[in-house]
Structure 1
Amino acid sequence: MANNSMSVTDRVQVENVEVLSDNWYILTKTTFRYRRRDGTWQQQSREAYDRGNGAAILLYDPARRTVILTRQFRYPTFVNGYERLLIEVPAGLLDEASPEQRIRAETEEETGYRVRDVRQVFQAFMSPGSVTEKLFFFVGAYDPADRVAAGGGNEMEGEDIDILEVPIAKALAMMQRGEICDAKTIMLLQYAALHLFPEVAGSEADRTAKHVVSAA
């Protein structure tokens, strides 16, 4: 079994880096040699989009069993045939801040909630074949008194964000129906089902099993 903790720096020799675009973030084309498992070197080229790293958070109310989601227009999903507003968790790029600093600021800007305690639960590369971005995933408890502003995002950046407070069971059902199809949101909802509201995950699994049996 391969050891994933081993560095591959001795297997990569960068030969050329060409900047294709730096209009918004940085798109590069890199030519490099890669040493394969059999010891031979192979020349390859890859394009990579560098937009920095980011953070995302799921706000949850353990007493009322609700979560906070956002809904906004995303042009890349629209041009790929998704004609609805995209439902997401609050998220944003780090912009040289720490992940916790950024997610606190982004949460208040997008939702109006000033979170007290946040906890990082995992991190992940979201599209490692072409995008360098790594996301830091957080959860944070909230209650209605934590809302200190209207939210809605930064108008100067084109943001026009709706805030949704949804029961966790409904959010999981929306995910199963395809109404929530954003990857970071699905990952955090799955985490919530496993670790924050495990009894909801159990009841959803029971209903799914009963549906499968009845359909058979």
Structure 2
Amino acid sequence: MQDRIRVLGSELLSDDRYILRKTRFEYRRRDGRWQTLTRETYDRGNGAAILLIEPRQRTVVLVRQFRFPAYANGHSGELVEVPAGMIDEGSPEETIRREAEEEVGLRVGTPRKVFEAFMSPGAVTEKLFFFTAEYDASDRIAEGGGLEAEGEDIEVLEVPLDEAMAMITRGEIVDAKTIMLLQYARLRELGAAE
């Protein structure tokens, strides 16, 4: 793509918690013509998410927490999600181990990376690294609940996988990363994913 993009200029619009830029660039279309475009990009860094699965009981660990952007878009703001967090330092694996301990109180030995995805590539630079890991009662090291200093007030949920899938159908789980990991688990269970 290097020969199809020419950046003409970039303007910093916000650098509060994350970075918002407005960039003007030329893009060479498939027919060879150049088109001048302007796009805003929101750079909040990359993140990692994990689905914790107890295979014998067929349960998963989810969290419920308030998300202001969802609230601002007409939702109650209380979202059911998989544990996740921003990669501030270290690897995606280190990040997801830390987040699992902080959010749900479970120590994760060896998370298994299953895929990567851009969640909203039209405006957000963030790429998420998706993991799964098995857990059992011996992995519990704390209650979880998140870090108050980060504004977290997390409720830990342990639900059967079938119930989590039904929560998607009923509109109780509307978080994309969570839906993706639950669908992955269901496909794997059916032998369609590796």
TM-score bin (small chain): over 0.9
Deviation digits for residues 166-215 of structure 1 (CA, Å, limit 9, x no counterpart) = 000100011111110100000000000011x328x9xxxxxxxxxxxxxx
SS of residue matched to 1:52: coil
Structure 1: stretches of 5+ with no match in the other structure: 1-7, 202-216
Question: What is the rounded CA distance, in whole Å, between the counterparts of 1:105 and 1:158 in structure 2?
Answer: 16
Which of 61, 71, 82 is the aligned partner of 2:64? 71
The 4+ residue runs of structure 1 with deviation greater than 6 A are none
Deviation digits for residues 69-125 of structure 1 (CA, Å, limit 9, x no counterpart) = 000000000111111510000000001320001000011000000012210000000
| Counterpart residue identity of residue 91, structure 1 | A
Q: Show the counterpart of 1:136.
A: 129
SS of residue matched to 2:40: strand
Q: Show the counterpart of 2:20.
A: 27
Which of 145, 153, 159 is the aligned partner of 2:152? 159
Deviation digits for residues 111-153 of structure 1 (CA, Å, limit 9, x no counterpart) = 0000122100000000000000000000000001111011100
Question: What is the rounded CA distance, in whole Å, between the counterparts of 1:116 and 1:17 in structure 2?
Answer: 43
Q: Show the counterpart of 2:84.
A: 91
Name the structure where helix makes up a greater proportion of residues.
Answer: 1
Mapping of residues 53-68 of structure 1, within 5 Å: 53-68=46-61
| Counterpart residue identity of residue 97, structure 2 | R
Counterparts in 2 of 1:84 and 1:32: CA distance versus 1, 3 Å = closer
| Counterpart residue identity of residue 175, structure 2 | D
Q: Show the counterpart of 1:214.
A: none
Question: 8 Å contact 2:69–2:77 — kept in the other structure?
Answer: no
Higher-Rg structure is 1
Name the structure where strand makes up a greater proportion of residues.
Answer: 2
In the alignment, structure 1 residue 108 sits paired with structure 2 residue 91: no
| Counterpart residue identity of residue 32, structure 1 | F
Question: 8 Å contact 2:68–2:77 — kept in the other structure?
Answer: no
SS of residue matched to 1:149: coil
Q: How many residues align?
A: 192
Q: Show the counterpart of 1:206.
A: none
Deviation digits for residues 19-55 of structure 1 (CA, Å, limit 9, x no counterpart) = 0000110000000000011111111000000000000
Question: What is the rounded CA distance, in whole Å, between the counterparts of 1:87 and 1:20 in structure 2?
Answer: 32
Q: C-alpha root-mean-square deviation of aligned residues, in Å?
A: 1.2
Normalized against structure 1, the TM-score is what? Answer: 0.87
SS of residue matched to 2:107: coil
Structure 2: stretches of 5+ with no match in the other structure: none
Q: Show the counterpart of 1:192.
A: 185
Identical pairs, percent: 63
Normalized against structure 2, the TM-score is what? Answer: 0.97
| Counterpart residue identity of residue 42, structure 2 | Y
Mapping of residues 42-57 of structure 1, within 5 Å: 42-57=35-50
